[in-house]
Structures are given as structure tokens and as C-alpha cells.
Structure 1
């Protein structure tokens, strides 16, 4: 169990940040890895087998980040669309590399059954800095709504808008990490002038279903598939995960659209958010990536059978 600190080192407790505090926070963000080396190089290598496009560009000071999407070739108007998104929170590594693993190893076998659209790294600035927010201290995964304040979210909305009514399935690949509790929740509380109480970080994989349009059989099928490659998070002593009641093994529910979450951005019949726990002593980085790729495969298989 990790617990949040009561006072974040930036700002005054109980007072929301202004421009000064946001600039102070921004000045402390450091690049730890390369989006070009880790992501763009892999996406460009896939261009021999898939259609690769840029759907926007982020400009943060001197840093420019092209946003890439991957499509299966020979889209067919009579086929449904499957949307896979990763790296909406840039620091959640297996979301990015799990999406790329799925494309590299499995996407082609579905290409005659569905049209696939994959955005593997929605937040490259956050990817490089291993951060949840963008450079403006905004969480993209609370920003999928009209007039979005996060360009990461707005760009993805523009990409998907022409085809959103054809989307059968949207699976959004995430992680829950120890730094959610030690860094990101305290930072959020400080930014908004609130107090951050402690939470227990679940040890294992879990899913977030849609409160407004639940699909319990769909979520269960993914859990059963992923359980073959990594462990599923058990409920805490209150029968909850991350403060939400468990509705089935390894599944909780959020009102996806109301919260501005990426998984709620379309009217897809089947929606889910994966949550991998990379800090577990029982899971390797390879297992985390594999769990994401397996989740995508099992989600597509279920949607094709029951959609």
C-alpha cells in the first residue's frame, strides 16, 4: 500500500494553482526517454504492412510531437471499426507498447473482419517525461469532450469523428502505478486546492466498464483471457478497487462519458479501459505488454461474435 502525501511541494494547501505554480511545476519536468526512438521508429517500421498517418501535432515550446495513427489497409465500408488507444496518460508504458505489440503481431489476422484504427501514443509529451498530464498541467484523460482543453484529446476526437458511428469496439489501454498515489494524486489535489486522501493501489490487472452502458459478459471475457498471462487484481477489504465497488472479478465501472474519459468518446457498443499494474513483483514489463495485447485480441473476438 502506498499513500498520498498531505502537502505537495508546489503551491499553498487549499489554494488552486495559478500561472506561477503551473510554470514552477513545468520547470521541474524532465525528459526521461525518447518518443522518436521508442515509438515513432516502430510506427514507421509498420508502414510496410499498414497505413500510417499523422493526425495532428503538439507544439510545446521548442518541442514538437507528430501524432500517429495506424490503420489496417483496404478499409471496407461494410466492416465495423475497432479503435485501440494507448498512452493517453503518457507515463503508462504498457499502454503504448502493448498497442504496438498487438499491431506488430496480431492485427493482420483481424484485417478481413474489422477495420482497425490504432493510436498507440496519444500523449507523447507525457510519454517522454513519464507524466500523467500534458505540458499545461491538464489530464488528457479527463478532457474528451467538446471544446477540449487538451490538444491530445481534441486531436483524437477530430480523427475519430468521421467514423465514430461505425465503431463497434473501443479499448483504451492504461496502467495504475504506485506513482499514481505518491505523485499524481497529490499533484492533482495541489493543483485544484483540495486534499488527497490515501488509496490502495490494486496489485494486478483490472478493467473499467461503462456505468451508463455496462457490458459484463464482454468484460468477463477479457478478464478470463488476460488471466492466462498475468494475475487479476483482488478486491480490497471493502470489496473495492481504487475506491470503486467491484461488479465482477477484476471489473469496476465509471461513467466514462461524463468523466471525459477516452473510452467514453464514441457510441461504441463495446467499451473498456484496461489497467495494468507494472509495479507488481509478480509481473514483468513483457507480461504487462502481453496483457494489453491479449486484452485487445479477446475484446475483438468477443465483439465479432456478439456484436
Structure 2
């Protein structure tokens, strides 16, 4: 049975309109607090970093300040490293991994690199453990000028002055069982298409850029993460999540053409992490640790191969 016949919103073969989006939005329940989990966690870091509000979102009667964390010893001659998390709000370790990196390791790069960390790009979705914003828009297909996503538009504007100056950008994500049980069926229903079942990979993997592949960089990150959690194997077709595996634990997407977050800056080194938190072989803390190790390995490689 395809998702259009089974998904509780919409009619088979018909893309959603405003009524369906409103119906979908009314079903989204706040399940955790951005203020408690993110804003509160940032407060102790103000002693060591410059923390600024780069925008704000007002959704469903709630106000969400968007926060960026910068190295306090910012120097123009230093290489710039960008870390983003929480583009998809339900991908928890992206947010908490970014915060853990800031708390425990970011100071290690003082005087060696300029760090810019945006730990939670999509706070409304973070609170509702969802992929989309309240307009049923996926920010991670809309990182471009004139974006319909407020989350994507705010980040694009933050980073626009830095285009061509970012050496490394790592975007922290997860692939979850709910991708297959909820989010992809919802996407098919929203777009009036049939749902094509897929396979969720068990383990960590990376997404490189088809237009600017950096295989040695990706391999360095994979090797570091393999010490913390297991790397996803390819499926019987030699693919991970429908894309050919180009190296162990690595696939490629056309980042900029697809409007993906990692394609914003034109950085030399880009990657998107994908942790699998639903694996019986991984704990939530292990997923956070994998994100932190990935960030550190990415920065270390970029510093060594400038």
C-alpha cells in the first residue's frame, strides 16, 4: 500500500494545499524545550565564546531566537571552520553533539582556527521532534536565496558575508527509523506521490559533495568515528539510502544543486554526518560522541591540509 492511501492527511495523488498543511501542523505536539535544552546550555559558554542572535522565528505564537557561537579570539588570517546542527529538528545528536563539542573541545582550537557553530538551525522542529518547519517545508532542500524556509533563509544571510572564506563545513544529521515510518510517507503524501519503501542503514555514514569530492577528508572522518561507533555497510545493491557507496561509509550528493545546508558556503571541505540512533549497537551518548569526533577529525584534517 502506498503512503497516499495510508497517510492520515491528504487525498491520493493530490499535493497538499493550505488546508492539509494546517491539518498537519495542528497534529504537531511540543515534546521538549529549545529554551531549556539549547538556550540554557549556551549561557555558560558566554564566558569563553561570542554568542549572538543571528535571526528569529515567530511560529504558532512562539518566539525562537536563532543563535550562533563564534571564537572569541577571531582573527581574519585564521582558517574558518563551520559547524551546523539541528537543520532537521528531530535529529537530536546533531544539536547535542554541537553543544558537547563547544563545551568540551572548541577551546582547543583557540588561536588556530576561527570557529562558527550554529547548534540548532530549526528550533520549532527540534521541540516537536520533526523534520519540517510549521509550513511543512524541509529546510534542507531550501538553502538558497529567496528560500521559503525561514530557518534556511536566516542561515543563508548569516553566512553570505563569509562565502569563499570557509575552509571546512560539517553539518550534523541523523538517519532514523522514523524516516521510513513517518517522514518519507509524509513527504510522499505532501507531494501527491506514491511512497517507495527504502532501507535504513545501520550505522554512521557521510555525504560528500558530487561537485567537489574530497575522499581523503571523508576517509579521515570515517576512520576517527569508527573508533566510537560502527560504520554503516552498503546494502545488497552497493548503496546507502539509495545512493552508490563511493567508499566505506561514504555517499555523494550534489549539495548546492539540492539546496542542502553543507552546500551554502562553497567551502573546500564539506561533509554531512549521518548517525543511526535507533541501532541496538548505539546509545544516545555514543551518537553525540560520534558527532563530536567527526567535528574534531574534520577540523584537524582541514588544518593539516590547508
- TM-score bracket, normalised by the shorter chain, equals over 0.9
- Say which SS state the counterpart of residue 51 (structure 2) adopts: strand
Partner of 1:179: 178
* CA RMSD between the two structures: 1.0
Aligned-partner Cα distance in 2 for 1:4–1:145:
31
Instruction: Map residues 34-49 of structure 1 onto 2, 5 A cutoff.
Output: 34-49=33-48
* Deviation of the 1:5 alpha carbon: 4.3
Aligned-partner Cα distance in 2 for 1:164–1:105:
28
Aligned-partner Cα distance in 2 for 1:61–1:38:
20
Partner of 1:81: 80
User: Per-residue CA shift, 1:200-238, capped at 9, x if unaligned?
Assistant: 000000000000000000000000000000000011111
Partner of 1:298: 297
**Contact 1:4–1:182 (CA<8 Å) still a contact in 2?**
no
**Paired positions, count:** 305
**Contact 2:173–2:273 (CA<8 Å) still a contact in 1?**
yes
Answering whether residue 157 of structure 2 is matched by residue 158 of structure 1, we say: yes
Aligned-partner Cα distance in 1 for 2:2–2:175:
14
Partner of 1:13: 12
Instruction: Map residues 261-272 of structure 1 onto 2, 5 A cutoff.
Output: 261-272=260-271
- Say which SS state the counterpart of residue 67 (structure 2) adopts: strand
Aligned-partner Cα distance in 2 for 1:141–1:111:
30
TM-score normalised by L of structure 1 = 0.98
Aligned-partner Cα distance in 2 for 1:43–1:143:
27
Partner of 1:237: 236
Aligned-partner Cα distance in 1 for 2:144–2:75:
28
Aligned-partner Cα distance in 1 for 2:193–2:110:
47
Aligned-partner Cα distance in 1 for 2:29–2:272:
28
* Deviation of the 1:184 alpha carbon: 0.3
* Deviation of the 1:161 alpha carbon: 1.0
Partner of 1:167: 166
Runs of 5+ consecutive residues of structure 2 not aligned to the other structure: none
TM-score normalised by L of structure 2 = 0.98
Aligned-partner Cα distance in 2 for 1:225–1:277:
16
* Deviation of the 1:61 alpha carbon: 2.5
Aligned-partner Cα distance in 2 for 1:240–1:165:
32
- Say which SS state the counterpart of residue 68 (structure 1) adopts: strand
Moved over 4 A (4+): 3-6
Answering whether residue 43 of structure 2 is matched by residue 57 of structure 1, we say: no
Structure 1 pair 41/4, CA: closer, same or farther in 2 (3 Å)? farther
Partner of 1:91: 90
**Contact 2:3–2:194 (CA<8 Å) still a contact in 1?**
no
Structure 1 pair 4/58, CA: closer, same or farther in 2 (3 Å)? farther
User: Per-residue CA shift, 1:141-164, capped at 9, x if unaligned?
Assistant: 001011011010110111111122
Runs of 5+ consecutive residues of structure 1 not aligned to the other structure: none
- Say which SS state the counterpart of residue 68 (structure 2) adopts: strand
Aligned-partner Cα distance in 2 for 1:95–1:5:
28
Partner of 2:142: 143
Aligned-partner Cα distance in 1 for 2:9–2:44:
42
**Contact 1:4–1:185 (CA<8 Å) still a contact in 2?**
no
Aligned-partner Cα distance in 2 for 1:277–1:234:
12
